[in-house]
Structure 1
Amino acid sequence: MIRTVLFRAVLVLSTAFFSILAVVFVGMGGGGAGVNWINRSWARSLLAVAGVRVRVEGLEHLHLSGPQIIVANHQSYFDIWALLAALPVSVRFIAKQELSRIPLLSRGMQSAGHVFIDRDRPRRARETFRTAGRRMHAEGLTLVLFPEGTRSRDGRPGRFLRGSFALALETDAPLVPAAVDGGHRVYRPGARRVRPGRISVRLAAPIPLDGANPPDRRTVMHEVRSAIEAMLAERTEEHLTPQ
């Protein structure tokens, strides 16, 4: 319980500090490398206090300086920090519009280049994604998308939203499936305690979207989901195999 209390205190203080730092840094003309450092430092400080380690496999599937979209399952808030902390690319997140209502956090996220999407307004969401896609190509950014739209309560992937893939098709950037596992054991929706543990991130071969059309979104969605489920199944088998 002491760890949980400490984590929540650090969450507030660290988020406030790094949000202000992002606003000031970008306001003074700071560039991508500094923003990446701010994002990673914020994430690593929270993971360290929570006692969470991150293991990554499949980094060879990432383009280290080119545009791409990582499509991941979503078990916990810790998924966000694990991806920010562990991936050696310029990571930016597609966040739900509700987070933009948290004053200091939203300013920090916007300054750091993260993108808020209003899924209730498809036309506005599409234009926002197009703008993000242009920036992604210009700056070699990696966008992270959680197509479930919310966190899983049992660790298994929920229903993927087809609209997320329709937006992704707007960018023409390759999709990199990512299976994130362990976050629901550290902290799941409705839980009162943060538990130390390990989060694994597995990346699969990218799926190119060159020339893909809106009708292709269902096929792309199934391909990404199958890759994620296969990686999660392999992870489960590893846990069950006697050492």
Structure 2
Amino acid sequence: MLLTIRTILVLTYFFSVALLGSCICLFRPFNPDNTRICGRLFSWGALKLLGVKMTIENKELLDNMPPSVVIANHQSNLDLFVHGGVIPKRCVSVGKKSLKYLPLFGQVYWLAGNIMIDRSKSRESINTMAETTEALKHNNTSIWVFAEGTRNGGNDLLPFKKGAFHMAQQASAPIVPICASAYPKHINLNKWHAGEVIVRILPPIDTHMAEDKDLGTLLEDAHSQMKATIDELNQKVKNRSDRK
């Protein structure tokens, strides 16, 4: 019963924020900071309605962050509410072109300046990523990428795609990993206090001196760091839950 009520409330809140976000974005279309503002709005109210407590660790690492490639683990559609609370300033994301067909949200996503890629058209995708790299290098803009390329459902971190790492190397931009605990496993939306998710920002990974031959090593290092961190966060959430 509580899950049903929460679903209705969150959907109502979602479309209300999408409407507000579209107004904000219409006044300042394609401003790179639109994504952060809209992300905060989505996150703030939705997590309260869901009864989810979010703890953010090392948030200070996002202060005065240079243009970077931000990589995060992708678990479910609720990532919008979890990761929306930690989007850095002047940061846009890379998403599927099909997102633009979602009522209201798709229009907000586009107007916020986010980058849409049609994965079925490889040449178009390559050109879009090249333009994204230029924005990273010259427009003081960071890029948010879910490096797994698909949702993992709160299970083990999937292998990373190479696109984000190519982009970071070509722009000589640092990679900033952001890890969220596996909330699908530790949250029960039928409980008043549904559970906790911990998000940790990791120190930036320098790519300035990396060459193409080091791409695999760079990818593996980032993956191993994030996997170890997520495992640690999962244990931390479990320990806190067991003490209650």
Class of the TM-score when normalised by the shorter of the 2 chains: 0.7 to 0.9
Q: 1:21-40 to 2 correspondence within 5 Å? A: 21-29=20-28, 36-40=36-40
Alignment match, 2:80:
80
Tell me if 1:112 matches 2:112. Answer: yes
Q: 1-side partners of 2:126 and 2:169: how far apart?
A: 10
Q: 68-77 vs 15-24, which deviates more?
A: 15-24
More divergent stretch after superposition (19-28 vs 104-113): 19-28
Does the CA contact (< 8 Å) of 1:79 and 1:183 recur in 2?
no
**Number of the residue aligned with 2:132:** 132
1:139-218 maps to which residues of 2 (within 5 A)? 140-185=140-185, 196-218=194-216
**Over residues 90-144 of structure 1, what are the superposed CA-to-partner deviations in whole Å (9 max), with x where a residue is unaligned?**
4432222332222422111011122222233333223223333443455544322
Partner of 2:8: 9
CA distance in 2, matches of 1:175, 1:205: 9
Aligned amino acid, residue 6 of structure 2: F
* Secondary structure of residue in 2 paired with 1:39: helix
Structure 1: which amino acid aligns with 2:4? V
Aligned residues: 238
Cα distance between partner residues in 1 of 2:112 and 2:98:
17
CA contact (8 A) 2:35 2:114 kept: no
The separation in 2 between residues aligned to 1:5 and 1:237, in whole angstroms, is 29
Moved more, 103-112 or 170-179: 170-179
Q: Distance in 2 between matches of 1:221 and 1:89?
A: 25
Look up the SS of the partner of 1:56 in the other structure. strand
Indicate if the aligned counterparts of 2:75 and 2:152 stay in contact, CA closer than 8 A: yes
Amino acid of the structure 1 residue aligned with 2:230: L
How far is 1:218 from its partner?
1.4
SS at match of 2:128: helix
Q: Report sequence identity in percent.
A: 22
Q: Which amino acid aligns with 1:41?
A: L
Match of 1:227 in 2: 225
Q: Measure how far apart 1:197 and its partner are.
A: 1.5
What amino acid is aligned across from residue 66 of structure 1 in structure 2? P
Q: Pick closer, same or farther for the CA change 1:94–1:186 going to 2, 3 Å.
A: farther
**If the length of structure 1 is used for normalisation, what is the TM-score?**
0.81
Cα contact 1:73–1:146 (8 A) shared by 2: yes
* Residues 33, 120 of structure 1: alpha-carbon distance in 2 compared, 3 angstrom cutoff: closer
CA distance in 2, matches of 1:33, 1:125: 23
* Corresponding residue SS for 2:230: helix
Inter-CA distance 25–60: structure 2 relative to 1 (3 Å threshold): closer
TM-score by length of 2: 0.80
